[in-house]
Amino acid sequence: MALAALPAELLDAVLAPLTAAPPALAAAARTCSALNPAATRLLYRHLSLSAYARNLSLIHLLAARPSLAGLVRTFSIHLDDAEPAFLPTYTELQRALHLMTNLSSLALYVDASTSWILSPPEGESGQKSGDATSPGLPFHPRLEHLTCNFPLDAHLASFLGQIPALISLTLSSFVSDADPESHSGHAPLTPKHVLIPPSHLPLLEAYTGPAHLLPTLASRPLKAVLLSGDLTLDLLPPAGAPAQDEIMSHLRRQDITADWPPSADSQLQVLSAMTSAPPADLLETLAIAFPNLVCLRLMTTRALWDSPDLGFYSRIASTLETLDRLTVFELAGIHWQSRVKPSSSEAKPKAEEKEWISPPVTPRAALPEVDDEFQADRDYDFDGAFLDWSY
């Protein structure tokens, strides 16, 4: 038959338009033996499973057929909970994941307490499912993108040691009840017995997840970081930073690489975070830690309308000028603009310098006084919080 003589890549190209219609692709796989291998490869290459799609039965098929599991390149699954009826499904999912050795992208939207599915099944590779102290050999050497709603625990930490090619990591902001200080009012910390060794994730470029993991991942070649939770000053390098006046003095002299070598190697270009720290203080520390930022977005839990004076905005603008590559800056939803700084001399400057323009601040008149009796019956109005300043 003529089809049998075609190279595999040509058969893939012929059948590729059918990938949008899996039933048609499955029909092609049953048509003849010449089309079956190519159609099967395409049919299992990209899988998205959910109860809504009514295709969760594929989990059992993949767990029982290693040859099919090895064809999967991108895998996504949505499971609502871990009720007893679903526990056999999670057990089969654990085995199926272990067999998907050619994965390039994995997204797990499952119960946050089932991180054990990332560990090898009991009896595999001489490692028990509950023993995640040793990462072992890389089961997924081609995995580049991982998304899961697990907090960092022993199972996840061990799994991160088995995916050396990972470049994008998205973790849940969920804080386990077992995490220290999770109920103490302080920023949650990673349990002391759960660590991500420096040898793990050597190629990581993008991270989305809890802010308290930033110090652990800061040594990686990160380029984009989107943080959930509270980014506090103690989470930012360098440790034992000097006073803010001294920091700004070093910044203005553009001599920060000699004092803080880790900052010179930072490749971080995009950062988005929320903080309870004073915005000006945090921004100055970020300028030290990540001098190559291009896009920076900060949300704050502090009420900026309480004290937005010229000194506050001048301090921020001064810090922004030290970030030579910065082109986009947003603070509490307020977008700042930059322009070329006018030269003080007629000679052409060596490089164009930018100055940042603070958003307009216009004082507004306070509302007239009202009777105490009327005020006592009045519900709190958030509009009153914006009476002093408007943007």
Beta bridge partners of 148: 108
Q: How far apart are CA 262 and CA 218, in angstroms?
A: 9
Q: How far apart are CA 158 and CA 150, in angstroms?
A: 13
Query: Which CA distances in Å does 32 have to 11, 26, 40, 87, 262?
Result: 13, 11, 12, 38, 60
Specify the pLDDT at position 354.
Answer: 81
pTM: predicted TM-score of the whole model, two decimal places: 0.76
Mean pLDDT of the chain: 76
Specify the pLDDT at position 375.
Answer: 52
Q: Phi-psi bin for 228: left (phi > 0), alpha (psi -120 to 50), beta?
A: beta
Q: Which two tokens stand for residue 315?
A: 């301090």
**CB-CB contact of 206 with 171 (8 Å):** no
Q: Phi-psi bin for 54: left (phi > 0), alpha (psi -120 to 50), beta?
A: left
Percent helix, strand and coil across the chain, each rounded to 5?
Answer: 35, 15, 50
305-341 residue pLDDT tens: 555 677 888 889 999 999 989 999 999 888 898 888 7
Q: How far apart are CA 59 and CA 53, in angstroms?
A: 13
Q: Which two tokens stand for residue 69?
A: 């599991």
Peptide bond before 37: cis, by omega within 30 degrees of 0? no
Specify the pLDDT at position 253.
Answer: 43
What residues of the chain score a pLDDT lower than 50? 126-136, 176-192, 239-262, 348, 363-367, 380, 382-391
Q: How many CA atoms lie within 13 A of 342 on its CB side?
A: 1
Q: How far apart are CA 260 and CA 150, in angstroms?
A: 34
Q: How far apart are CA 64 and CA 56, in angstroms?
A: 14
